[in-house]
Structure 1
Amino acid sequence: MSDTKRVKEIDVLSLLKKVASRKKEMIIFVSVFFVIGVIVALEQQKRYTSYVVLAPEATSMGMSQNLSDIAGAIGMDIGGGKSSVDAIYPDIYPDVFASTDFVVKLFDIPVKVKGQKKTYYNHILQDTKIPFWDYPKLWLIKMFGKKDTIPSTNVVNPHCLTKIQSEVCEAIVGSIGCQINKGTNVITISVTDTDARVAACMADSVKTRLQNYITLYRTKKARQDLAYSQQINAEAKAAYEKSRQKYASFADANSEVVLMSYQSKLEDLENDMQLKFNNYSQTAQQVQKAQAKIQENTPAFTVIQNATVPLKSSSMPRTLMVIIFVFVGVIADALWVLVLSQAFGKKK
């Protein structure tokens, strides 16, 4: 065993010496990859990431849901529990951020870049630096691809996006991050952008849009009930007003009449008016209950950390990028010396 280990060590050392002996080739490889690394590092834009930390309200399943599950197992139904199940829970928030309907609504958010006001959509299109190695592909697409006739956000149909709008959507989805702590359900929302202030602005906007999205979802049924209650209340009020006016007109026109038939008619109108008023009062109470239900179903989000303007970039440092390319150049030189040069020599 010791002999084999020595043989392996000697082989490795000999290979390293062989690579180091050909200094000119190593200098060429390292220099070439160093230049490539510098060019790539200069072409890459610095990116900044802003974070928002939220603690959403937990869904109230609790003991009632557990009792309902136990009762269902033995064939009983005690009610409750099922209504508290929430279809949108923190685990699917990343899917919400990736949905086209959610992303498209971020297009028109105003941002300020270098003192110039523009929409977030135009910022993505105009301020994103395109690396030089993408120019041939863009030229081919421009020459042979289909032209996009709607490059602006004047007309945005989430169900039928143009090519440019779809690319902007993909860029926005790639810049939004969402991490969820399974133990505490704390949500960390991150937005990355080439401008630090835009990153902070969009992080705050994404937080607000998420809160509105969840609020609209959880209060959808309550808002529908409120609209129906308000419609019924308006109809009951109109019926009561009509009955009241009819009663008042009949009473004024027959104020001096003492016939029983007129008195009976007046009592009938008064009873009808009272019934209409009772119905109007009940529908008014239903409207108040529906409004209270909306407030009850509105979720509460606790903001642990608001969005702040990042001071340091979150992208890879350019120096580190150049070092990686130099390291790749050393590996390429070793492959050339130990493998490729020998293969070419045998062919010759």
Structure 2
Amino acid sequence: MNLMNETPSPPSSEVIEVSLSDIFGFFKRNWLILFFAGLLSGAAGYGISHLIAPQFEATAKILPEFGSGTGAGGLSDLASLAGFSLGKSSSDALRPDLYPSILSSKTFLMQVLSTPFPLQNGEKIVLASYLDEEAQPLSPQQLAQGDTLITLSKEQERVMKDVAARITASMDKMSGVISIRAEMPDPTLAAACATYTLSYLKTFVGEYRGGKKAEKVAFLRTQVNEAKGKYQRTEVALNAYRDRNRSAFTNMAQVEEQRLQNDYLQAQTLYGELTRQLEAARLQALEEAPVLKVLEPPMIPNWKSKPKRSLYALGFAILGGFLVLIVLLFVKEKIHHKFG
């Protein structure tokens, strides 16, 4: 019974005791090896960094803002003075936190891949073939796919993913500032891509917010022109009839003049009402138009962003020293087990 309750102790050969003095002694004996291993590895990493193509980064910062129409002296106050109301602002505004998603969409990336951009030497290139020699520029048929099923070659899809990683946008939730970043092998190309991205975002947001209102303004403008023409024609007809029948006092003459007078008044009323609606629609479109204030425009960078040679040297130095440390520990343990 006593033998069953006793727990066997592990063999003494399986117990490894390491004291601080052992660790200190190990580094004292091998510090020179570790130093030169880290130094040589760091030099190798620094040399390898020269084999990597340099990259240049251009950035832009914008502050999105939408007109509320409720401030003093706003367009809504101007509209009320003119005799009409703009009504409540629509709630279909595009949230600024969705801007990065717009700039990562395939529609935007396809436009970027097919747009000519300048290089530092003055040459113009298309990103698709510039970043990947095997990728063909997108054809007009591919660009016209729009919301339909998108068909790309493997090379085109590969370079699209590359561009998606090179052109990015992010939003600072605290300040609301949108940062646009473009990283390219050429400094002028990086700035041109950032500028194009900023322009695309402005156009997209403007069309999204004001598309329907622009269509309404265009429709009302056409109606106003037609009503104006009818108003002018009825006015000419009424005055011409009065000139021809100044001395006529018959009932038929009075009936005809009354009919022309009614047509003229109706045309005048319609023209005035459509004119007021057109002005209201124009002011409302301006009131609710999105505003993207550029805080920092893109600038051609003078220094490369990658590769960072100091980080390459430091990383290789740490890696080389760690590998040599593992080798030393392994060799020491092997010798210890063989002769210890």
Instruction: Report the TM-score when normalising by structure 2.
Output: 0.71
- Say if 1:111 and 1:198, in contact at 8 Å, map to a contact too: yes
- Corresponding residue number in structure 1 for 2:105: 99
Q: Secondary structure at the match of 2:290?
A: coil
Matched letter for residue 220 of structure 2: S
Q: Is 1:169 matched up with 2:160?
A: yes
- Corresponding residue number in structure 1 for 2:74: none
Matched letter for residue 50 of structure 1: A
Q: Is 1:311 matched up with 2:311?
A: no
Matched letter for residue 160 of structure 1: I
- Higher share of residues assigned helix: 1
CA distance in 2, matches of 1:51, 1:29: 36
CA distance in 1, matches of 2:331, 2:249: 123
The match for 1:88 among 85, 94, 99 is 94
- Residue 98 of structure 1 and its aligned partner are, at CA, apart by 0.9
- Corresponding residue number in structure 2 for 1:125: 129
- Decide whether aligned partners of structure 1 residues 340 and 92 sit closer, same or farther in structure 2, where only a CA change above 3 A counts: farther
Which ranges of structure 1 fall in alignment gaps of 5 or more residues? Answer: 1-5, 64-79, 131-141, 143-147
CA distance in 2, matches of 1:27, 1:305: 46
CA RMSD of aligned residues (A): 4.0
Pairing of 1:181-220 with structure 2 (within 5 A): 181-220=172-211
Q: Is 1:329 matched up with 2:320?
A: yes
Q: Secondary structure at the match of 1:300?
A: strand
- Corresponding residue number in structure 2 for 1:112: 118
Matched letter for residue 100 of structure 2: P
- Corresponding residue number in structure 2 for 1:160: 150
Which ranges of structure 2 fall in alignment gaps of 5 or more residues? Answer: 1-16, 72-86
CA distance in 2, matches of 1:207, 1:151: 22
- Residue 218 of structure 1 and its aligned partner are, at CA, apart by 2.2
CA distance in 1, matches of 2:279, 2:123: 43
- Say if 1:52 and 1:188, in contact at 8 Å, map to a contact too: yes
- Residue 199 of structure 1 and its aligned partner are, at CA, apart by 1.7
- Residue 313 of structure 1 and its aligned partner are, at CA, apart by 1.5
Pairing of 1:1-348 with structure 2 (within 5 A): 7-13=18-24, 15-16=26-27, 35=44, 37=45, 40-57=48-65, 60=68, 83=89, 85=91, 87-119=93-125, 122-123=126-127, 125-126=129-130, 151-155=137-141, 156=143, 157-158=145-146, 159-163=149-153, 164-240=155-231, 243-244=234-235, 247=238, 257-339=248-330
Matched letter for residue 10 of structure 1: S
Q: Secondary structure at the match of 1:179?
A: strand
Q: Secondary structure at the match of 1:115?
A: coil
- Residue 109 of structure 1 and its aligned partner are, at CA, apart by 4.0
Identity %: 20
- Decide whether aligned partners of structure 1 residues 7 and 38 sit closer, same or farther in structure 2, where only a CA change above 3 A counts: closer
- Decide whether aligned partners of structure 1 residues 190 and 17 sit closer, same or farther in structure 2, where only a CA change above 3 A counts: same
Matched letter for residue 262 of structure 1: A
- Say if 2:42 and 2:315, in contact at 8 Å, map to a contact too: no
- Residue 160 of structure 1 and its aligned partner are, at CA, apart by 0.9
CA distance in 1, matches of 2:130, 2:29: 51
- Residue 45 of structure 1 and its aligned partner are, at CA, apart by 1.6
- Decide whether aligned partners of structure 1 residues 224 and 331 sit closer, same or farther in structure 2, where only a CA change above 3 A counts: same
- Decide whether aligned partners of structure 1 residues 103 and 319 sit closer, same or farther in structure 2, where only a CA change above 3 A counts: same
Matched letter for residue 55 of structure 1: L
- Decide whether aligned partners of structure 1 residues 124 and 195 sit closer, same or farther in structure 2, where only a CA change above 3 A counts: farther
Matched letter for residue 197 of structure 2: V
- Decide whether aligned partners of structure 1 residues 61 and 174 sit closer, same or farther in structure 2, where only a CA change above 3 A counts: farther
Q: Secondary structure at the match of 1:98?
A: coil
Instruction: Report the TM-score when normalising by structure 1.
Output: 0.70
- Say if 1:54 and 1:301, in contact at 8 Å, map to a contact too: yes
CA distance in 1, matches of 2:331, 2:274: 87
Matched letter for residue 171 of structure 1: D
- Decide whether aligned partners of structure 1 residues 154 and 39 sit closer, same or farther in structure 2, where only a CA change above 3 A counts: farther
- Say if 1:59 and 1:84, in contact at 8 Å, map to a contact too: no
Q: Secondary structure at the match of 1:282?
A: helix
- Say if 2:53 and 2:185, in contact at 8 Å, map to a contact too: yes
- Say if 2:63 and 2:293, in contact at 8 Å, map to a contact too: yes
CA distance in 1, matches of 2:195, 2:259: 62
CA distance in 2, matches of 1:279, 1:199: 55
- Say if 1:53 and 1:186, in contact at 8 Å, map to a contact too: yes
Matched letter for residue 43 of structure 1: L
- Residue 282 of structure 1 and its aligned partner are, at CA, apart by 1.4
Q: Secondary structure at the match of 1:88?
A: coil
